[in-house]
Structure 1
Amino acid sequence: MSLDFDPSSLSIPKGHHIGGRYIDFGGEPIEVRRPSDLQVMGTLEDGGEEAVEAAVQAARQALKASNWSKIAPIERARVLTRFAELVEQRSLDLARLEAANSTRLIAETTVRDAARTAGTIRFFAEYCDKLEGQTTQTQSGILSMVRPEPYGIVAAIVPWNFPMITAAWKFAPALAAGNAILIKTSELTPYTLLLLAEIATEAGLPKGLFNVVNGYGQTTGAALVRHRSIGKISFTGSTATGVAIMTLAASHGTKPVTLELGGKSPQLIFADNEDLDALAAKVAAGFMGNGGQVCTAGSRLIIQRKIADELVEKIEARCRAITPGPTWREASDFPPIINEKQLARIDSLVQKTLAEGATARVGGSRLETRNEGSFYAPTLLEGVTPEMTGYQEEFFGPIASIHRFDEVEEGIAMADHPTYGLAASIFTTDIKKALLAAEQIESGMVWVNQNGRGPEFTFPAGGFKGSGFGKDMGRVGIETYTRQKAVWINYAA
């Protein structure tokens, strides 16, 4: 059975989802376009302070009426498990909506995005009754306890590149820990989040615990960060925006933030790899997947000289062998850039790097296709040095720079980046080299012999340095939505 579908046949959510229903406030209209053909998919509004205030009030009332943070954890788990089941039942609807509205291919959204969203909800549902406090040693007659407690209302601001999965990493643990969640969608890719809020209400989640507001970052996003009733902010996006959010949060209530930001992730490749065809497939996917629109994209290829020329030829062949096309066609294996503005930004960075002295071995320009979408050619850059734009800036497109090394320590040193430290991939059959590199590279995530996380939910995601701080997923992914209360009881008094 073909996965192809007609994007114009989809049912499109309309409005913010606040208090269990769709609602508008008459704000500035925002056209939402399909990246694959740039056609208008629907219209939403910039909610601003009015929508944020309504969502906060709905969350406050829901927490009070439902006693969500105080009910038996197993009851929270029951509701969230039902939520996961309904997501699975609606997985095709979600997968199609995600594919049409974003750069995610239908071949991937059906088997990955929707399924992993349901899995994330189920994973954290199982954690509801496993958050533990502790008692500390004291003198006789004293009981000292540390209790994990929810913040109350938390806000998540999610990006456009993996809108459904990234949001689930935030709303699932926040709800499981006993919080209410307010999510600001990207104005470019709002629809799956709105449908998820609708499904959550259908699953029996108290109305107002899961609210979704639409709008621009500088208006609706800023209103979320400023609101003093919001106890914590979680953000995934660019480093520049993360810095702005952290600054704004500090000046309006000094609330804690979790930030997963940009990256210039290395793929460190040692010469002991024997199957260069299989290796080329992994490395190419590491910077071309989702059109390179991945924060962990392995955009710096650091290759031991002995195999560099042969491996680069094989990677180049894969750059040329793509099948670009609409995200709603199963045969497409290379998606568009999210919009024309982002494509122009990518091309500007590439052209600056070329003007600074680098050369394009393949690509280096817009990709002309039969579609009307914004496609950029997979690009391999040679001669990129640390002072160049292409080394310093995150492309967020299908671009990789090629670097060669001779000795092990030289390659490991090259893998570090002065600004970013989100992820790193190491390809070697030598466990000693793998462990040495993993230990020395300053990065929040390290993969050996693959690029990107697997299907497991226990692996935390987050970076070092300019790539942010705090983690999503894993046990720490739910602990980050709790605060620690110290209780001292003098029962001998």
Structure 2
Amino acid sequence: MDFQNLNYWQEKVKNIAIETRLFINGEYCPTQDNSTFDIFDPAAQHTLAQVARGKKADVDLAVRSARDVFERGDWSQASPAKRKAVLNKLADLMEQHHEELALLETLDTGKPIRHSLRDDIPGSARAIRWYAEAIDKVYGEVATTGVNDLALIVREPVGVIAAVVPWNFPLLLACWKLGPALAAGNSVILKPSEKSPLTAIRLAQLAKEAGLPDGVFNVIPGFGHEAGQALSLHPDVDVITFTGSTRTGKQLLKDAGDSNMKRVWLEAGGKSANIVFADCPDLAKAAATAAAGIFYNQGQVCIAGTRLLLEESIADEFIELLKEQAKNWQPGNPLDPNTTMGTLIDNAHADTVHSFIRNGETEGKLALDGRSAQHPAAIGPTIFLDTNPTASVSRDEIFGPVLVITRFTSEAQALEIANDSDYGLGAAVWTRDLSRAHRMSRRLKAGSVFVNNYNDGDMTVPFGGYKQSGNGRDKSLHALEKFSELKTIWISLEP
């Protein structure tokens, strides 16, 4: 099989079967009113399929199914070893079907097949497997008491979890949430974005094949104002875990307050600062990393390094290196394994990014223009120079391959510019000075700070943000805390 060949993937497209129904209580099914919506291939510019449009009535069925199986204990009371075996089997099946899942992801989102194959699908399976392996290694506690008492601190599954995930990394971000939620023994209803539901729908069948009991995992594709809000307002949903826009995150918090005070864990927007000092260990490496940090996935990355802060003395040299690196990131056919940039998620979002670029031209110098009339959803590397930190392109999350460069002359100035943001998801510091690296890392208001790299890491470390970038954490053992109840059991011992 020559999966490094464009023709190989074009042939697979002709034969791929696309499931489009809801998945409730272990079965695919239509919606209660048989309504559907179109799924659009942004690269080919045509409709891929018509997918079931879940609404409140469908959400009610899914929540009832999830609650019933939770109370029966088929999964919630299963031993950690049993849950581990099932989730490991699910990871195995994801790996076995990695080409199918990668192709669905690329068709749905326009991202390059090389990235779906290399990053999205392996990362998704890895997340499921990591939590499978972790769950039987997380222990309760015994508190210190007097000799006549015994105090136990135990963790229990919360109940019904609603996971609402975005379109930029549809399966990966879903599995960051499914892994800990399922490992802890909860039932889950996954609401994928209406722009990218196909891998979530396919995953449901793989989960059933792996042995997950019916009702434990349900998938309701649909729109945020219908299926999403029905979940956020549902009185029998215990937790909402969400990745997406800050605006939607705020609405979910309101809905939780208006319903049953369900917990809401948010990973929202970002406008992360990538700071390069004059004593950077390797300017060429930093430039290559900065390019990847903003142009990967067409810039549709919440933690993208959208603000590049350069110390004045090396700024001109660095900009030339960066422009050279940008040549390695050019839009092309997502099905071509040599393509490094695909399309944006759809034409409407591309129009939004175009609008930001037009406004940016009035706020700063456009040093590299990625706009092209060749494809309505394709935008290449775009770079603004010497833009005021108060400008919209400097402050607003664009979610496209648009980089804003600002110069600084001191550590204090760099820190001030970096922290002057409504967001606090990520930041990076490039320096040889160990003391400076520590000072900056501690004072940067961000959930993740990278030193001499950008966005490195693995499943062992938490991911989330400060300020309006959210309040939850994905990945690591810390995510398990978000999907479990902490219970104290105090026992009086008879003398």
Please give the range of the TM-score, normalised by the shorter of the 2 chains: over 0.9
Counterpart for residue 367 of structure 1 = 372
1:264 aligns with 2:271: yes
Give 1:485 shift.
1.3
Change over 3 Å in CA distance of 1:384–1:53 after alignment to 2? same
Counterpart for residue 436 of structure 2 = 433
Give 1:373 shift.
4.9
In 1, are the aligned partners of 2:330 and 2:380 still within 8 Å (CA)?
no
What are the superposed Cα offsets for residues 306-341 of structure 1, whole Å, 9 maximum, x if unpaired?
Answer: 110011112123334533112111121111111111
In 2, are the aligned partners of 1:264 and 1:297 still within 8 Å (CA)?
yes
Distance in 2, Cα, partners of 1:295 & 1:3:
31
Unmatched tracts of structure 1, length 5 or more:
none
Distance in 2, Cα, partners of 1:73 & 1:321:
46
Letter in 1 for 2:20: K
Counterpart for residue 453 of structure 2 = 450
Distance in 1, Cα, partners of 2:309 & 2:493:
62
Counterpart for residue 467 of structure 1 = 469
Of 154-163 and 429-438, the range deviating more from structure 2: 429-438
Letter in 2 for 1:464: Y
Counterpart for residue 411 of structure 1 = 414
In 2, are the aligned partners of 1:323 and 1:331 still within 8 Å (CA)?
no
Where 1:315 maps in the other structure, the secondary structure is: helix
Change over 3 Å in CA distance of 1:418–1:274 after alignment to 2? closer
Letter in 2 for 1:467: S
1:32 aligns with 2:43: no
Where 1:325 maps in the other structure, the secondary structure is: coil
Letter in 2 for 1:398: P
Where 1:31 maps in the other structure, the secondary structure is: strand
Matches within 5 A, 1:238-317: 238-273=245-280, 275-317=282-324
1:184 aligns with 2:184: no
Counterpart for residue 220 of structure 1 = 227
Give 1:59 shift.
1.2
Give 1:136 shift.
2.1
Counterpart for residue 114 of structure 1 = 121
In 1, are the aligned partners of 2:386 and 2:407 still within 8 Å (CA)?
no
Where 2:252 maps in the other structure, the secondary structure is: helix
Matches within 5 A, 1:17-416: 17-25=23-31, 26-273=33-280, 275-355=282-362, 357-363=363-369, 366-369=371-374, 372-416=375-419
Where 1:122 maps in the other structure, the secondary structure is: helix
Give 1:453 shift.
3.2
How many residues are matched?
488
Distance in 1, Cα, partners of 2:28 & 2:245:
29
Change over 3 Å in CA distance of 1:8–1:33 after alignment to 2? farther
Distance in 2, Cα, partners of 1:426 & 1:28:
50
Where 1:250 maps in the other structure, the secondary structure is: helix
Identity %: 33
Change over 3 Å in CA distance of 1:320–1:85 after alignment to 2? closer
Letter in 2 for 1:432: S
In 2, are the aligned partners of 1:103 and 1:161 still within 8 Å (CA)?
no
Give 1:11 shift.
1.2
Distance in 2, Cα, partners of 1:433 & 1:393:
28
In 1, are the aligned partners of 2:162 and 2:190 still within 8 Å (CA)?
yes
Distance in 2, Cα, partners of 1:271 & 1:449:
13
Letter in 1 for 2:272: S
Distance in 2, Cα, partners of 1:192 & 1:255:
27
Where 1:112 maps in the other structure, the secondary structure is: helix
Give 1:273 shift.
2.5
Distance in 2, Cα, partners of 1:249 & 1:27:
29
Distance in 2, Cα, partners of 1:252 & 1:385:
42
Unmatched tracts of structure 2, length 5 or more:
none
Distance in 2, Cα, partners of 1:417 & 1:291:
25
Of 256-265 and 313-322, the range deviating more from structure 2: 313-322
User: TM-score, normalised on structure 1?
Assistant: 0.95
Distance in 2, Cα, partners of 1:195 & 1:243:
30
Moved over 4 A (4+): none
Change over 3 Å in CA distance of 1:345–1:465 after alignment to 2? same
In 2, are the aligned partners of 1:264 and 1:417 still within 8 Å (CA)?
no
Change over 3 Å in CA distance of 1:299–1:22 after alignment to 2? same
Letter in 1 for 2:187: A
What are the superposed Cα offsets for residues 55-97 of structure 1, whole Å, 9 maximum, x if unpaired?
Answer: 1122123224453121211111111111111111111111111
Distance in 1, Cα, partners of 2:319 & 2:15:
43
User: TM-score, normalised on structure 2?
Assistant: 0.95
Distance in 2, Cα, partners of 1:373 & 1:34:
12
